[in-house]
Amino acid sequence: MLLALDIGNSNLVVGLFDGSQLQRCWRLAARSDSTVDELRFALGAMLAEVRGAAIDAVAGSCVVPALRPRVDAAVQALLGGPPFWIGPGSRTGLRIRYEQPKEAGSDLIADAVAAVARYGAPAVVVDFGTATAFVAVDRNATYLGSVLAPGVETAAEGLFAKAAKLPKVEVAVPSSVIGHHTVAALQSGLSYGAAALADGVVERIWTEMGEVTPVIATGGLAHIIAPLCRHLSHIDEGLTLSGIALIYERSVKRQMETTEGPHD
């Protein structure tokens, strides 16, 4: 089995794969100041729930550099070896059209890989996380680039910090777009505002690409925002983890082929 780690700015998402099938998924808060012991304890508690699972490998995507060596140490202590990290040289199956390929987020690359594998190319992915990130892939499986906007909760925290009289509210869909009290007004602005942002950016991406594509929503808030959108055709909360698993499989196969050399 493969343990896949998606380390983002807000959450550490962990998935357990049996072949290509995601068997279990856990989500916990990601803190850049987490210690090795805290991470080892958290991962160990997850693995205790699937006692007896034979984990052959660990692969991950990380956009929080400070956490990566600590996760390395925690995984090493639990399973005897460090994770495989997605990065330059990983086999994605995509052409990357980015001026600085190293700057393309490994989580967004994983999103694109899984989107093409599951839904075909061309495709657009909308990842509702700390940032609301859009990824465009053309019909030749070329990663064209991305659009990055503040995520729903990130925008909300900024609003609450600047407006002293506004209460903090959870991201939820109110009963009507027009709010009849402050909490509903805030929830409407956050949820329907995010949906309008998603639809508007997708339309502009389609215009630049010259065609209408499937649009896949993923990320921690996809289940809340995506149903409000006009253009999102699929909700796939396991998309990033599946992309990590695919990239690991492809990269390991290439490494094995390189090591073994040609056969007669």
Whether 215 contacts 202, CB under 8 Å = yes
Whether 125 contacts 112, CB under 8 Å = yes
**Angle (nearest 5°) at CA 201 between 167 and 149:** 45
Tens digit of each residue's pLDDT (9 = 90 or more) over 31-90: 888 899 999 999 999 988 988 778 999 999 999 888 999 999 999 999 999 999 998 889
Residue 248 phi, psi (nearest 5):
-60, -50
- pLDDT in the model for residue 32: 83
- pLDDT in the model for residue 256: 56
In this prediction, residues 250-257 reach a mean pLDDT of 72
Would the pLDDT of 24 be above 50?
Answer: yes
Q: Which two tokens stand for residue 74?
A: 């925690």
Q: Running DSSP on this structure, what letter comes out for residue 231? A: S
Question: CB 161: neighbour CB atoms within 10 A?
Answer: 10
Is residue 127 part of the annotated active site? The answer reads no
In this prediction, residues 99-126 reach a mean pLDDT of 92
User: Which of the residues 6, 37, 72, 107 is marked catalytic?
Assistant: 107
- pLDDT in the model for residue 264: 35
pLDDT-derived band at 263, boundaries 50, 70, 90: very low
Q: Running DSSP on this structure, what letter comes out for residue 226? A: G
- pLDDT in the model for residue 164: 81
Q: For the chain, which domains are there?
A: 2-85 (3.30.420.40), 95-246 (3.30.420.40)
Specify the pTM.
0.91
Q: Where is pLDDT greater, at 29 or 256?
A: 29
Question: Could you write out the DSSP letters of every residue in 160-197?
Answer: HHH-TTSPP------SSSS-SSHHHHHHHHHHHHHHHH
- pLDDT in the model for residue 171: 94
